[in-house]
Amino acid sequence: MKPRQIVPNVYLIGAVDWDRRLFDALIPLPRGTSYNAYLVQGGEKTALIDTVDPSKWTELAAQLDELPAPDYVVVHHVEQDHSGSLPMLLERCPGITVVCSEKARTMLVDHLHVDGARFQVVADGDSLSLGDKTLTFLSTPWVHWPETISTYLVEDKVLFSCDFFGSHLATSDLFADEGDVLDGAKRYYAEIMMPFAPQVMKNVEKVTQYQIAFIAPSHGPVYDDPRLIVDAYRDWAGGPLRNVVCLPYVTMHDSTRLMVDHLTAALVERGVAVERFDLVTVDLGELASSLVHAATVVVGTPTILGGPHPLASHAAFVANALRPRTKHATVVGSYGWGGKTVDSIVGALGKLKVEFLPPVLAKGMPRDADYAALDALAETIAEKHADLPPRHGA
């Protein structure tokens, strides 16, 4: 795509990766992604903000052909989807200076073997004048890695936020449409930002001390109404959990499914919303999104080879790594003779600050007593959720 102007002399460049379907060898990309770079042309100097995934270098190079040669490249974040083209850029522009945090400097040397002589290290609050445009660098650690910074373009009130506020969304839209972007932005938050929710909140408060007219992230469209994504982030990272049970499950011969079906109906009957995920076909991003707001997680799994089904173990492992703010958890499922299924799931969720509710395990196909235990579990969950806001709305 050709460079697109956001405000005079500030351009969105980079690449839309329409066809990519997996990120970090883990994260599904149902709508592709983009690697946004930006060019800020000041009266005296020009800065390139980030580069692109190395697979898209030729697209960025073609755009740079049409623009003034950059004097600086600001590297917000060392992950290769934004910095992977830096070695090619440095070869193409021998005079360019790499502007980044001290942590990023050492990481660029480690990850990309960049020549250490080409850096200008900046600290939190430092500014760089391009003439009539001024870049102020803000330390925003853990959105996504510890070295990450954001850049505020003072005169035009543009916040270049890198992964922070991003979305894996391939689109021809320059500016975000509320109906189109929020699902993807929430998935992205869940997959990338949720493990660092307290730092995310600090960074949201930090950057919003500045007047922001545009948020220009490194994935997905630009926000010309920054409140949309800022308010969403405040809700996802720090707002109330919802009256929702997230229910990932797997079954081999349908006994666990009978239990999950019964529990779903019993919860709905008691006014508790259920978000169910068959782990055979699950899109991990949808499961992660559900974990952003669900107050309770119930893992449904049969016992297999002495423990949970591997798909349930995997889901629990991922949930544990993503550190949702979930308050309650338990396990339901069927077994044949015995095993450590509950202990194993409880152990796998060890990082979560959850209260474990009594599990429900049925020997073989569930009987009346098992269904009664599921009703009791639903009752307990409904009581625990009594004061929570509904799944949708305030």
Ligand X SMILES: Cc1cc2nc3c(=O)[nH]c(=O)nc-3n(C[C@H](O)[C@H](O)[C@H](O)COP(=O)(O)O)c2cc1C
**List of residues contacting ligand X (CB under 6 A):** 251-256, 302-306, 334-339, 364
Output 252 or 369, the one with its CB closest to ligand X.
Answer: 252
The answer to whether residue 375 forms part of the interface with Fe ion (CB under 5 A) is no
Minimum Å distance from CB 344 to ligand X?
11
Q: Is residue 74 within 8 Å of residue 151, measured between CB atoms?
A: yes
Minimum Å distance from CB 97 to Fe ion?
23
d(CA 273, CA 367): 25
Minimum Å distance from CB 217 to Fe ion?
9
DSSP string, 221-289: -BBSSHHHHHHHHHHHHHS--EEEEEEEE--SSSHHHHHHHHHHHHHHHTT-EEEEEETTT--HHHHHH
Token output for 196 = 């660092």
Task: Please give the order of strands across the beta sheet that includes 214-217.
Answer: 127-129, 134-139, 149-153, 158-162, 214-217
Using CB distances below 5 to 8 A depending on partner kind, what does residue 68 bind out of Fe ion, ligand X, none?
none
The answer to whether residue 53 forms part of the interface with Fe ion (CB under 5 A) is no
CB-based contacts of 20, cutoff 8 Å, min separation 6:
29, 32, 33, 170
Using CB distances below 5 to 8 A depending on partner kind, what does residue 364 bind out of ligand X, Fe ion, none?
ligand X
Q: CA angle, 149 as apex, 80 and 164 as ends, to 5°?
A: 75
Using CB distances below 5 to 8 A depending on partner kind, what does residue 227 bind out of Fe ion, ligand X, none?
none
Minimum Å distance from CB 260 to ligand X?
9
- Of residues 61 through 120, those in contact with Fe ion by CB under 5 A are 79, 81
Q: Please give, one letter per residue, the 3-state secondary structure of 77-125.
A: CCCHHHHCCHHHHHHHCCCCEEEECHHHHHHHHHHHCCCHHHEEECCCC
Output 174 or 252, the one with its CB closest to ligand X.
Answer: 252
CB-based contacts of 265, cutoff 8 Å, min separation 6:
none
Judged by CB under 5 A, which stretch of 61-69, 157-165, 265-273, 310-318 contacts Fe ion?
A: 157-165
Task: Please give the order of strands across the beta sheet that includes 72-74.
Answer: 4-7, 10-17, 33-41, 46-49, 72-74, 97-100, 119-121
Using CB distances below 5 to 8 A depending on partner kind, what does residue 339 bind out of Fe ion, ligand X, none?
ligand X
Minimum Å distance from CB 261 to ligand X?
11
Using CB distances below 5 to 8 A depending on partner kind, what does residue 253 bind out of Fe ion, ligand X, none?
ligand X
Minimum Å distance from CB 257 to ligand X?
6
Using CB distances below 5 to 8 A depending on partner kind, what does residue 254 bind out of ligand X, Fe ion, none?
ligand X
Among 31, 45, 56, 144, binds Fe ion (CB under 5 A): 144
Minimum Å distance from CB 258 to ligand X?
8
d(CA 294, CA 327): 8
Output 32 or 339, the one with its CB closest to ligand X.
Answer: 339
d(CA 384, CA 245): 11
Minimum Å distance from CB 337 to ligand X?
4
Output 198 or 364, the one with its CB closest to ligand X.
Answer: 364
Query: Around Cβ 107, how many Cβ atoms within 10 Å?
Result: 21
Output 81 or 370, the one with its CB closest to Fe ion.
Answer: 81
* Count of positions on this chain that bind Fe ion (CB under 5 A): 4
d(CA 376, CA 266): 9
Using CB distances below 5 to 8 A depending on partner kind, what does residue 144 bind out of ligand X, Fe ion, none?
Fe ion
Output 53 or 375, the one with its CB closest to Fe ion.
Answer: 53
Q: Is residue 67 within 8 Å of residue 39, measured between CB atoms?
A: yes
Minimum Å distance from CB 333 to Fe ion?
36
Using CB distances below 5 to 8 A depending on partner kind, what does residue 338 bind out of Fe ion, ligand X, none?
ligand X
Q: Is residue 260 within 8 Å of residue 249, measured between CB atoms?
A: yes
Using CB distances below 5 to 8 A depending on partner kind, what does residue 79 bind out of Fe ion, ligand X, none?
Fe ion
The contact set with Fe ion (CB under 5 A) reads 79, 81, 144, 163
